[in-house]
């Protein structure tokens, strides 16, 4: 439907899902990877098969699959995959799917992309170009650095902060225990870092680590280009809005980004 309404502009992002999604739907998180891979095959066939078909597998059971409307793009809309574990990176490389990652410091994201490129070259016989890698960041643009910081600090606190930081981190690690394996992050030189959780955020540290890109159009442009150079990636996905930000405020940031940042990136 989105592909039809947009005139064939859909790029579809596939992700295995976070712990909260598995809890919400009552699904065993240990089945997540197998379910993701099966659902990938099912969705691709639903997009590309002209006739109705049956699908009976370990996790999905349909007597008839037939979708309407058909996507405009053929054989199907382009796909990107969000991942950072070794298993998912390898799967993306084998299937020649562009890899997107986020919510880690910039040097760790660089290691993710390097592992993807190395595995693709050494094990799969192909070399990913920059448009096969992308990253996302929480981004806010205002007229000056000081104004940008003042306007979005509360919303970043809502996103990255927590009054229950210690218990929340422990609870998240416990719930995530079935989602990762012993080798999921062994390709990294240091312990894997995900989204930081603290009672009060440190905007300077979040910016230094690369989690956020906040400032004037000039500052935002420079920091995006700095990260792009460090990562060798050609796809950038900004999080606008985020946290508790109202749409009207976010729209001002979007407009400044479009008028004064985006032309410098193209």
How do residues 194-210 score in pLDDT, each as one tens digit?
766 677 889 999 999 99
CA 216 – CA 142 distance, rounded (Å):
5
CA 223 – CA 140 distance, rounded (Å):
12
Going by the DSSP 8-state scheme, the letter that residue 261 receives in this structure is: I
How do residues 97-127 score in pLDDT, each as one tens digit?
999 998 899 999 999 999 999 999 999 999 9
User: Do the beta carbons of residue 161 and residue 138 sit within 8 Å?
Assistant: no
DSSP 185-232: TTTSSS----S--BSS--HHHHHHHTSEEEESHHHHHHHHHHHHHHHT
Helix or strand holding residue 133 (H, E): strand 133-141
Domains and CATH numbers, the chain: 1-75 (no CATH), 78-265 (3.20.20.30)
Instruction: Say whether pTM exceeds 0.85.
Output: yes
CA 40 – CA 37 distance, rounded (Å):
5
Cβ count within 10 A of residue 253: 23
Helix or strand holding residue 259 (H, E): none
How do residues 11-69 score in pLDDT, each as one tens digit?
999 988 777 888 888 888 888 889 999 999 999 999 999 999 999 999 999 999 999 99
């Amino acid at each position: 439907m989105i592909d039809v309404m947009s005139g064939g502009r859909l790029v579809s992002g596939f992700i295995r899902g976070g712990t909260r999604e598995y809890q919400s739907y009552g699904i065993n998180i240990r089945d997540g990877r197998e379910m993701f891979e099966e659902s990938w095959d099912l969705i691709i066939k639903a997009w590309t098969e002209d006739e109705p078909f049956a699908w009976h597998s370990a996790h999905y059971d349909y007597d008839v699959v037939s979708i309407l409307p058909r996507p405009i793009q053929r054989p199907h809309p382009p796909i990107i995959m969000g991942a950072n574990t070794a298993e998912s990176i390898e799967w993306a490389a084998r299937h020649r799917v562009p890899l997107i990652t986020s919510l880690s410091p910039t040097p760790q994201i660089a290691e993710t992309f390097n592992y993807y490129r190395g595995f693709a070259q050494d094990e799969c016989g192909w070399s990913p170009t920059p448009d096969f890698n992308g990253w996302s960041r929480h981004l806010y643009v205002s007229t000056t650095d000081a104004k940008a910081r003042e306007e979005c600090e509360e919303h970043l606190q809502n996103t990255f902060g927590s009054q229950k930081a210690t218990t929340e981190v422990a609870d998240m690690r416990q719930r995530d225990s079935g989602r990762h394996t012993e080798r999921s992050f062994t390709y990294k030189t240091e312990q894997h870092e995900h989204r930081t959780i603290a009672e009060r955020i440190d905007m300077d540290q979040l910016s230094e680590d690369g989690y956020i890109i906040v400032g004037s159009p000039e500052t935002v442009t420079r920091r995006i280009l700095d990260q792009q150079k460090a990562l060798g990636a050609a796809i950038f996905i900004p999080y606008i809005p985020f946290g508790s930000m109202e749409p009207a405020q976010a729209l001002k940031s979007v407009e400044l980004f479009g008028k004064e940042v985006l032309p410098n990136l193209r």
